[in-house]
Every structure is written in C-alpha cells, then in structure tokens.
Amino acid sequence: MISVQLASLLTSGMLIIIGLFAALFLDNIFKKIIGISFITEGVNLFIVTLGYKSDGVVPIFLPGMVKDVFVQNSAYPLPAAMVLTSIVIGASTLAVMLALVIILYQKHGTLSASKLLMDDEEMEAGE
C-alpha cells in the first residue's frame, strides 16, 4: 500500500510535468496559462506534503493537552500558511492573465502563439 505522503508527492510531480509540457509545447495561449496554473497547484501540493505528518494533530493547543505530546504530534503549520497565501496570489494572477488573453483575442482574433508572434514580426518589418 502506498502512503498518503508518497501519493501526494507523485501527484505533485505529475502536475508539474503536465504543466511544463503545456507551457512549453502547446501553441494556444489559453492552454499555456492553464499549464502554468497546473505548475502552481503542483508546487502548492508539494509544499503541503512537506508539512504533512502521519497521525499528526491540528497545530492548535487546546486546554487539557499535554505540552510534550502536542509538540511531538502536531503538524507543521507554516506550509499551510504559505500555500494559502500562494492560492490567493495565484488566483488573482490567473484572473489577470485570462483578462489579457481576452484582450489579445479581441485585438488579433486568434490565441495561437506562433501566429501572434508572426504578426508582431510583420508589424516590426513594416515600420
């Protein structure tokens, strides 16, 4: 049986690999942005996995808890806080990137990166 932590590490690795493939090899800008989002979520899952503790408890010290047992069994809270911040920043960045894609499509009528780059080269040659 595979452990939860190992499964999470493998899943985060696969998300990062899929995201890298999409960002590097797909021509559609929208798909590239989704690939970058996959990379972000893979990194977030990796960070949460680092803070995972098997049979751990929530890091909230309640009355009646023994201090030594709590310290030994509580999960590390910093990765969860970092990921929460990353999710908020990532969501706002994704919204801005998608808004720019809408503007690109309205201006050029395509989302193909190669066609957009070719249009830029033609515009520079015409000047």
- For the chain, 127 residues long, give each residue's pLDDT as a single digit of tens: 888 889 999 999 999 999 999 999 999 999 999 999 999 999 999 999 988 877 777 788 888 888 888 888 888 888 889 999 999 999 999 999 999 999 999 998 999 998 988 866 666 666 5
How many domains does the structure of the chain reveal? Answer: 1
* CATH number of the structural domain spanning residue 61: 1.10.287.3510
Alpha-carbon distances, residue 82 vs 15, 44, 114, 125 (angstroms): 19, 9, 36, 46
Q: Which domain holds residue 105?
A: 4-126
pTM of the model: 0.82
